Amino acid sequence: MPDLTSARDSSTLAAPPASRHPGLVHFALAMGGFAIGTTEFATMSLLPYFASGLSIDEPTAGHVISAYALGVVVGAPVLAVLSAKLARRTLLILLMAMFGVFNGLSALASNYEWMLLFRFLSGLPHGAYFGIASLVAASLVPTDKRSQAVGRVLLGLTVATVIGVPMANWMGQAIGWRWGFGLVAVLALLTMVLVYFLAPADKPDRSGSPLRELGALGNGQVWLTLGIGAIGFGGMFCVYTYVASTLLEVTRVSAGMIPIALGVFGAGMTAGNIIAPRYADRALMPTAAVLLIGSAIALALYPLSAGNFWLLCLDIFAIGFGGALGPVLQTRLMDVAGEAQALAAALNHSAFNTANALGPWLGGLAIAAGWGWTSTGYVGSGLALGGLLVWALALLSARRLNRRQDGTSQRKTDLLRTS
């Protein structure tokens, strides 16, 4: 029987027609990741500015970030199920159109309540877009290159942390925080054009149905894989949400140094998404464990390095590298989801944005309790270790299931021999 910890069965993927230029398709899909990454991470870095603009305090402004994350958590499974019969290219364009409209409206929000609503609505297409884009990207390459293909799509998100987020942060300081969200609306429009012209035109999956997609919810391995991301990824978001405030209040650098630190974080994520998937295609679950352990160590060192800007940047790079957990878990879900590929792939981003809500919330509690801005590092390290615990449960569960399946197969063989 195939080992669930390393299986690479892609027979259930409903692939679109083969493209002669998969690299161009990956680029088009990654542009959507660039738009999504810019708004997701820039909102955190712009927190002090839109808090002031909307006349609210920073802990309250953190709810705006959580609203977006909640939108991803809700939207990913709902849109993936409802769109089961749509052609993938059409679906990607519709999702990006929705994303662009609500980011544009976020730029026009007149008060805190409208901002909460528009950020929630902006998050709805996030997970479904990444899920479908990952499936399309993986279907264009050999089976043993899937993690790298998914990594290329998510590379758009990580490059956003190097280029898009510092640009949006600079715009927020120079001409106003609203321009950061306007920039994302423009990027969404560009993505729609690229996907239309570069992605392969496919036909709707006639066998697709909401019930088939909902089958993923009965798979224990799917839930455990999602749990790894929902908890383990929370540490990165716990630190990143408050890194601008930490730089200003603890490291005591000027506001102009914040984009540099954010760019370093993005460089770490980009390096992780380039390097880690190569190892994941050979040893998927061990790579996930190494990333979680490395994240726990880097996050624990965050409070110790906060007093020196360059040491902090080095640590922020290491924390960003742990973001490579994304494509690793995305490929893991392809292995264990069976026929419910779209929902499982989308749920991966629900899990990460559960982490996006959980991390800032727990970090905010620690700060509000008087433990200081750097306490987010210790909270984050605990979350990374929690993700490692769920990883261990997933591994044990998969091995136990394999033993049962092997035993059943052997009994059937013995019965055939004696009959």
For the chain, the domain total comes to 1
Distance CA 390, CA 285 (A): 12
Q: Is 5 part of a structural domain of the chain?
A: no
Q: Is 311 part of a structural domain of the chain?
A: yes
Question: How high does pLDDT run on average in the chain?
Answer: 84
Residue 350 has pLDDT above 60, yes or no: yes
Q: What's residue 17's pLDDT?
A: 46
Shortest CA distance to 323 belongs to which of 129, 140, 161?
Answer: 161
Q: What's residue 18's pLDDT?
A: 46
CATH number at residue 202: 1.20.1250.20
> End-to-end alpha-carbon separation of the chain, Å?
23
Q: What is the dihedral of CA 294, 168, 45, 252, to 10 degrees?
A: 100
Rg, C-alpha atoms of the chain: 21
Residue 204 has pLDDT above 80, yes or no: no
Q: Tokens 């624990």 label which residue?
A: 300
Q: Which domain holds residue 402?
A: 22-406
Q: How confident is the model at residue 11 (pLDDT cuts 50, 70, 90)?
A: very low
Q: What is the dihedral of CA 240, 241, 245, 246, to 10 degrees?
A: -40
DSSP 91: H
SS3 6: coil
Q: Which of 7-16, 159-168, 397-406 has the lowest mean pLDDT?
A: 7-16
CB-based contact 209:84 (threshold 8 Å):
yes
CB-based contact 288:329 (threshold 8 Å):
yes
Angle at 32 between CA 31 and CA 37, to 5 degrees: 95
Question: What is the percent of the chain with per-residue pLDDT over 70, rounded to a whole number?
Answer: 88
Q: Is 351 part of a structural domain of the chain?
A: yes
DSSP 370: T
User: Tens digits of per-residue pLDDT, 290-349?
Assistant: 999 999 999 999 999 999 999 999 999 999 999 899 889 988 988 887 777 777 777 888
Q: Is 15 part of a structural domain of the chain?
A: no
User: Tens digits of per-residue pLDDT, 225-281?
Assistant: 999 999 998 999 899 889 988 999 999 998 888 888 888 988 898 899 899 998 988
Q: Is 50 part of a structural domain of the chain?
A: yes
Q: What's residue 8's pLDDT?
A: 40
Q: What's residue 403's pLDDT?
A: 73
Distance CA 104, CA 266 (A): 24
Q: Is 414 part of a structural domain of the chain?
A: no
User: Tens digits of per-residue pLDDT, 73-83?
Assistant: 888 888 877 87
CB-based contact 237:351 (threshold 8 Å):
no
Distance CA 126, CA 71 (A): 8
Angle at 225 between CA 219 and CA 226, to 5 degrees: 90
- Using CA of residue 77, residue 35, residue 234, residue 401, what is the dihedral sign? positive
Backbone angles phi, psi at 357, to 5 degrees: -85, -40
Distance CA 61, CA 195 (A): 34
CB-based contact 212:339 (threshold 8 Å):
yes
Q: Provide DSSP, 34-101.
A: HHHHHHHHHHHHTHHHHHHHTT--HHHHHHHHHHHHHHHHHHHHHHHHHTTTS-HHHHHHHHHHHHHH
SS3 16: coil
Q: How confident is the model at residue 203 (pLDDT cuts 50, 70, 90)?
A: confident
Distance CA 135, CA 149 (A): 9
Helix (H) or strand (E) holding 106: helix 88-107
CB-based contact 391:228 (threshold 8 Å):
yes
Q: Tokens 């398709």 label which residue?
A: 25
Q: Is 383 part of a structural domain of the chain?
A: yes
**Which pTM was predicted?**
0.76
Q: Is 284 part of a structural domain of the chain?
A: yes
Distance CA 310, CA 4 (A): 42
Q: How confident is the model at residue 129 (pLDDT cuts 50, 70, 90)?
A: very high
SS3 229: helix
Shortest CA distance to 82 belongs to which of 209, 207, 206?
Answer: 209
Shortest CA distance to 416 belongs to which of 1, 408, 404, 2?
Answer: 408
Q: Please give the average per-residue pLDDT across 358-364, as a whole number.
A: 90
Residue 219's CB is within 10 A of a number of other CB atoms, namely: 16
